[in-house]
Structures are given as structure tokens and as C-alpha cells.
Amino acid sequence: MTDTATSMPLLVKVQPPRPAVESARPQPGNAEADAEARRLAAAIARGDEPAFREFYERYQRRLLRLALVLGGGDECLAQDAVQAAFVIAAQRLRAAESAAHLWNWLARVTRQQIAKAWRQRRRDGAVVGVAARSDSAAENQPDSVLEECLDAALLTLPDDDREIVEWFYFDRLSHKEIAERLEATPKAVSSRLERVRTKLRAAIAKTLSHET
């Protein structure tokens, strides 16, 4: 991640477990949501740290879902892009006309960060196989389609694999916390997550191929 300096730390409280697959579709716009978006954007522009934390907690989960598909299931790339997007928001976000405008701005910044990372990897000769095909397939898809692609990919996984993905990526549980739930060791959880990552990347690539 290139931009690292910001006065607003990116801290998120651990959220309670959620259903294995939740709807990724944005809620219909309304006056209250639009007013909240305008309030958050204005507060962030003033350097209001509590407002930034609220903003992060509100959008981080959904933005990571989008980034995972844009990044072809590469969780490191997705997480780096999301963190970079929030750093840029802390530095540059000045105003929002509505909730949809705020989301679209944040999603566009994330797309730009993913594209920047892919260009760097191509220069380094590091993009091959599934990741390269997924990147190409996702590039011009609308955000709503990409979010639905992740739901579809998750549904191809066995229930226990889908659950561990939700715990680790979206509920932000550590290997140790997951191990306690599964009555396993952190090392066993790490090995299992690596196997599930491979399945998820393949599922995302397959789902995207059906959308193009």
C-alpha cells in the first residue's frame, strides 16, 4: 500500500458472527441514508476521528466483498486495496451528495487501487493463471454484479468452508479465535484457510466467466 500516513487509525471492533451469505445488494436510497452520508463525509473532511471510525465500520465489510472479486479472490490484494481506499478517503473525501454517491466514490477508489496493483504485478511478471483471468473478467462489471458474484462463489463452497471464510474475512476473527470455535489448533486453521482460499479463487473465476 503506497499511502500510509493518516491521522485516523483504521481500527475496527470485532463484529458478532453473521449469516453465512448475506445480501450484497445496496438498500434503496432514502432521505435518512443520504443525510447520514452527507454528515459522515463532511465530518471526515473536518478530520473527525469518531466519524471516520463509523465510516470504516459501516463500509469495510461491503468494500472487502467487492475487492475480493475484483482481485480474483486474492485476499492480500483485496485487503491492501481496501485499506488504501480508506486512507485516501481520510485524506481526500470532502463531500457526498447521497449514500449512493458516497459508496460509488469509495468503490471507484478501490477499483483504482486494484488496477494499480495489477499493473505493478504485470510489470513484475507476477500475474498468472486464475488471477489474471479473473482480473480481466471483473474489470468492466458493475459493482452490483461483482457483489452478487461473490455470493454465488461462496454458495459453491461446502457449508463449513463458507463459514470459516465468513469468520476470517468478514467477522475478522483471528486464527486462534476460529481454532477455539472448531476445537482445533491455529496451525490447522491456517492450513484449512489456505485450502479454502484456493477453492474460493477458483469459484470466483468460474462465476465471473459465466458473467462475460
Cβ proximity of 70 and 62 under 8 Å: no
CA angle 92, 96, 99 (to 5 degrees): 125
Cβ proximity of 81 and 70 under 8 Å: yes
Largest CA distance in the chain: 48
pLDDT at 133: 44
Q: How far is CA 65 from CA 94, 97, 109, 126, in A?
A: 25, 24, 14, 23
Condensed to tens digits (0 to 9), the pLDDT of residues 47-80 reads: 999 999 999 999 999 999 999 988 888 888 999 9
Condensed to tens digits (0 to 9), the pLDDT of residues 122-135 reads: 777 654 444 444 45
pLDDT at 32: 93
Percent of the chain past pLDDT 90, that is, above it, reads: 49
* Whole-structure pTM value: 0.70
pLDDT at 126: 52
Mean pLDDT of 111-120: 89
Segments making up each domain of the chain, as ranges: 31-209
Cβ proximity of 74 and 201 under 8 Å: yes
DSSP code per residue over 156-179: TS-HHHHHHHIIIIIS---HHHHH
Question: Which residues, 6+ apart, have CB-to-CB distance to 45 below 8 Å?
Answer: 93, 94, 95
> Which of 187-209 are b and which e, b meaning 16 or more Cβ less than 10 Å from the residue's Cβ?
eebeebbeebbebbbbbbbbbbe
Cβ proximity of 33 and 96 under 8 Å: no
Exposed / middle / buried, residue 5 (Cβ in 10 Å: 0-12, 13-18, 19+):
exposed
Q: Which triple of cell numbers denotes residue 101? A: 454517491
